Amino acid sequence: MPELPEVEIAARNLRAWTAGRRIVSIESDAAARRLFRPASPSAFSLALEGARFREVRRKGKQLLVRLEKGREPAGLLAHLGMTGKWLRRTDAPRRGALARERGAGRGAAGGEPPRFSRVRFRLDDGAVLHFVDLRLFGRLRAVPGARFEEVREIAALGPDPLEDGIDPVRLLAGLARSRLPVKVRLLDQRLLPGVGNIQASEALFRARIDPRRRSDAIALPEARALARAILASVRESIAREEGPEIAYVEEAGAENPFLVYAREGERCPRCRRARIERLVQAQRSTFFCPRCQPLG
């Protein structure tokens, strides 16, 4: 599942792939209609075809792409959802192949497109950007004038941990306003945009904080440790990624690089005595060491 590190890699890849490039055409398959909610695929294509890429930013788990169409700015807001990815293929379309690809849902001439390619952006250098999404929980939205600050879900986000850092005092104040378990509170994107289920579990383990602790019971020294742990986990996750073919830990055959996430029953990598336990919080799995992260 993409969180801040995976979305940061996606932003870096898009910057490298699209610098100065123009969108020649946008194609989508029938199942992709859900990705454009509440707009339609045709309205999305009309808004962005012919536009030239100017800037790619990230805010939490959101990708904010600024383009220019004529002399007017245009915006693309992308969210990867649970299984979304951006992939690039260099195969240019052959004459006569484009119509067949549209009919068959294919995205790259001369070979099979990535599996679950839902939307294809054909660029003026012959490359094809594929928005791949197995479960169709992602979202692609055209933003008139690239006015991202007017989009409600963007305006609601707090400071980005990677771009803005984490102020322990602000973090403590945000935790103190809630009686929820600290793990659940960390998932609030108004507090720490980009931190999701994986990073929250990993950071709490690093900071030696039990995920069941009430948020308003966290003290300032613990908030400082938690801020350091979140940034360390995020930066290590980014450093591990090599190349554009990101594999999520939930995918078949993918290696698990995390300390505790999805390691139920394994020995704790720190104390080597207790075994990692799993519990469900807010309908999501939490992993922790009962010895290193004592509740009382």
Please report, to the nearest 10 degrees, the dihedral formed by the alpha carbons of residues 112, 247, 17, 27 taken in order: 40
186's tokens: 């960390």
Residue type, 230: I
Residue with tokens 């980009």: 194
Active site amino acids = 2-3, 61, 284
206's tokens: 């690093």
Rounded Cα–Cα distance for residues 99 and 105 (Å)? 10
State residue 131 phi and psi, 5-degree precision: -95, 110
Instruction: Find, among 142, 90, 147, the residue nearest to 113 by Cα.
Output: 90
233's tokens: 């986990």
Rounded Cα–Cα distance for residues 140 and 200 (Å)? 26
3-state secondary structure of 96: coil
178's tokens: 């809630």
Rounded Cα–Cα distance for residues 193 and 60 (Å)? 4
**Surface-to-core class of residue 164, CB atoms within 10 Å of its CB (0-12 exposed, 13-18 middle, 19+ buried):** exposed
Rounded Cα–Cα distance for residues 278 and 172 (Å)? 26
